[in-house]
Amino acid sequence: MMAPFYKYGLFGDEVSLILAALIGVGFGFFLEQAGFGSSKKLVAQFYLTDMAVFKVMFSAIVTAMLGLFYLSWAGLLDFSLVYVSPTFFWPDLVGGLVLGAGFIVGGFCPGTSVVGTATGRLDGLAFMGGVFGGIFVYGELYPWLADFANSTAMGRVTIDSWLGVSKGLVVFAVVVLAVLGFWGASAVERMMARREVEAGT
């Protein structure tokens, strides 16, 4: 039996939708458990007082990355059937900047705004409304944006294939960087906590 199961026809479309909802429940549950229903908790990342966004995001990435790596190494998963979003270099870069600006102004991202709304945060609900508006504006401007949005298309490209090195090497480097990042993030948090005590706030 090989993964991804859906791609190997182990179950059909209807079942995939039920699984989507169940996967969503797990996703929402852990986002809320991380404290990400709260916009103040999320933006604390950018004021260096609470680096939970970095810690949660990178421990999630490392967990899933190692799982995918070892499953395909063991021959249980065909990585070529796993969806990797095609890279469009400049649109990805500029989109990231606009999205990051939206993050610090609005205090959520789309997924966390759903969790915020579900737990009563009215700023989360307002944010969701804004996301609909932003997508509508993008859609209306699409005829003019399409040339840029489809530029610098690089197809399915992963960091290892781009660098021409083995996947194992990149996986190892990401784990090392994540561990160093976790250590650094906690050090910064302690420094900021000391500073706030000294400032008497």
Partner 1 sequence: MNPYLAGVGLGLVLLLAYVLVGRGLGASGAFSAVVAVIVNAVAPAHAQSNEFYRGYLENGFGSPFKSFLVFEVLGVAVGGFLSGALSGRLKRTVERGPRMSAPGRIVLAILGGALMGFGAKLARGCTSGQGLSGGAVLDLGSWTFMIMVFAAGYAGAYFLRREWR
CB of 86 closer than 8 Å to CB of 153: yes
Q: How far is CA 106 from CA 55, 61, 112, 135, 156, in A?
A: 21, 24, 11, 15, 31
Tokens standing for residue 6: 């859906």
What is the per-residue binding string for partner 1 in 28-67, x denoting contact by CB under 8 A? Answer: xxxxxxxx-xxxx--x-xxx----x--xxxxxxxxxxx-x
Among 73, 151, 162, 172, interactor with partner 1 by CB under 8 A: 162
Distance CA 32, CA 28 (A): 6
DSSP designation for 2: -
Closest approach of partner 1 to the CB of residue 28, in Å? 3
Closest approach of partner 1 to the CB of residue 116, in Å? 8
**Taking CB under 8 A as the rule, does residue 168 contact partner 1?**
no
Which of positions 80-99 make contact with partner 1 (CB under 8 A)? 81-89, 91-99
Q: How far is CA 60 from CA 30, 65, 66, 67, 149, in A?
A: 10, 8, 10, 11, 29
**Taking CB under 8 A as the rule, does residue 120 contact partner 1?**
yes
Beta bridge partners of 135: none
Q: Closer CB to partner 1, residue 93 or residue 180?
A: 93
**Taking CB under 8 A as the rule, does residue 179 contact partner 1?**
no
**Taking CB under 8 A as the rule, does residue 188 contact partner 1?**
no
Closest approach of partner 1 to the CB of residue 1, in Å? 11
Among 9, 74, 75, 106, interactor with partner 1 by CB under 8 A: 106
Which of positions 12-31 make contact with partner 1 (CB under 8 A)? 13-14, 16-31
Q: How far apart are the first and last CA of the chain?
A: 58
